[in-house]
A = this chain, B = another copy of it.
Amino acid sequence: VRRPETVGIIGLGLIGTSLGMALRQQDRSVRVVGMDVEASAVAVARARGAITESAGTFEAFAQAELVVIAVPPAAVVAVATAVAAVMKPGGVLTDVASTKAAIVQTLGRVLPPHVHYVGGHPMAGAEGQGAANADPTLFVGRPFVLTPTAQTNRDALATVSAFVEGLGMHPVVMTPIEHDAQVAQVSHLPYLVAVAVLNAASDEALAIGGPTLAAFARIADSPAALWTQIAHANRTAIVHAVGAFRRELEALERSLADGPALQAHLARASERSPLARSEP
């Protein structure tokens, strides 16, 4: 696998800018061409060393061996289609959207055959948003989910896999459907549950909340417009995850009057919690 000499990053928010910074810190010779609809995001990304040049049009990505699309999920297909039209033969395209099935299926149908797309999703995030909050250490030790299909070019998969390993992430390969089901369980459901807890509590109760509530409040205080796109796009998997969650909550509720049964549920979650604490 040859490491790319020119990488494009389209979308210079928290993830795109953090990726550029991590990439440039690891390889000072790589060209990173960045683009964003907001001129201020481009300026911040450049000032923070995330990109070496900025692009006004998609033609600027003609020489990129790898382009990472880091725009909000609802814009991924349009941006991928536009940039693929100008990329050189054999160019590799990936993205960071947190839902995969619909995007992967559509791009499999509409992208030109000379460009190779591999669906991606870094399992990382932070409270702050935007280029100003970018952090090149965000990805260290985190999974990067890759969602190839039977049609995915194997060299392109190896390229993206090596790229994310170079940034300190560990690639995890699964199908787009598996990805969407799993992130519904461990990302979208917890977010929606935190939203429901905040919306269900009285103002007086919120005011006396301790550290547990504060953690829920930090989770619920995420950009509503972005999450509307994510939750809408992954609604089938979310409904499934909510169903499984509701059954667990009902089992807990039924066991409230039965100490040993209740304790067994609580102990099970405590025992399973290390599985979920892979964070650095």
Q: Give the interface of A toward B (CB within 8 A).
A: 123-126, 142-143, 145, 172, 178, 181-183, 185-187, 189-225, 227-228, 231-232, 235, 238-239, 241-242, 244-249, 252-253, 256-257, 259, 262-263, 265-270, 272-279
Contact = CB atoms under 8 A, between A and B. Distances in A.
A191 B9 CA distance: 39
Interface of chain A, main secondary structure: helix
B210 A125 contact: yes
A204 B181 CA distance: 10
> How many monomers of this chain does the complex have?
2
Nearest to A238: B256
A208 to B, nearest CB: 5
Contacts of A197: 185-186, 189-190, 193, 245, 248
A201 B185 contact: yes
A190 B216 contact: yes
Most chain B C-beta atoms within 10 Å of own C-beta, residue among A124, A187, A266: A266
17 contacts: A124-B211, A125-B210, A182-B205, A183-B208, A186-B212, A187-B209, A190-B215, A190-B216, A201-B241, A214-B276, A214-B278, A215-B215, A216-B276, A221-B277, A231-B256, A235-B257, A238-B256
